[in-house]
Amino acid sequence: MDEKNVKRDLNVSALCVPAKGEAGRTGDWRDFRPVIDHKKCIPSSKNKAACFLCWLYCPEGVVKMSIPVEIDMDYCKGCGICAEECPPNAIRMVREGENDG
């Protein structure tokens, strides 16, 4: 590593700040990706700020609390917790390389 041109860690104690991509670009860890059916999704279909359980449960914080709901696929690890928790079953896990169907 080029020791001269890196920004140094000047912290006296070990610490980290919450930041997007703190653990690297995790989207490429994925085997299955979440696909949202916005006709079934409560906030998307009713155009109301309601439910958002996917946002609440996502361990990586990659779900955006928006209408329609969006998932940042650069960092989604494909764990499937959102699909498991979605009350109207609006999220399906689809194998990478296959079509959304």
Partner 1 sequence: MADVRILTGNEAAALGVKLCRPNVVAAYPITPQSQLAEILSRYVEGGEMRAEYVRVEGEHSALTVCISASTVGARTFTATSSNGLLYMHEQLHWAAGSRLPVVMCVVNRGVGAPWSIFNDQQDSLAQRDTGWIQLYCRDNQEIIDTIIQAYWIAESLYIPVMVCYDGFVLSHTMMPVDIPDAEEVRGFLPPYKAHTLLTPEAPRTINSVLFPWRRPNPEGVLCDGYMEMRYKLQAAMTRAHGVIQKANDDFAGVFGRDHGGLVWKYRCEDAELVFSGMGSIANEATVAADLLREEGIPAGVAGVRTYRPFPREEAAEALRSAKALVVLQKGLSYGYEGCLTSDLKAALYGTPLRIPVVDVVAGLGGRDVKAREIADAGRDAWKDLQAGKQGNRSLWLNCYTGEDHAG
Taking residues 9 to 28 in sequence order and writing x for each that binds partner 1 by CB under 8 A, - otherwise, the string is: x-xxxxxxxxxxxx------
Burial class (CB in 10 A: 0-12, 13-18, 19+), 57: middle
- Token output for 18: 């919450």
Interface with partner 1, residue 96, by CB under 8 A: no
Interface with partner 1, residue 4, by CB under 8 A: no
Least distance in angstroms from the C-beta of 7 to partner 1: 4
Interface with partner 1, residue 74, by CB under 8 A: no
**Type and span of the H or E element at 101:** none
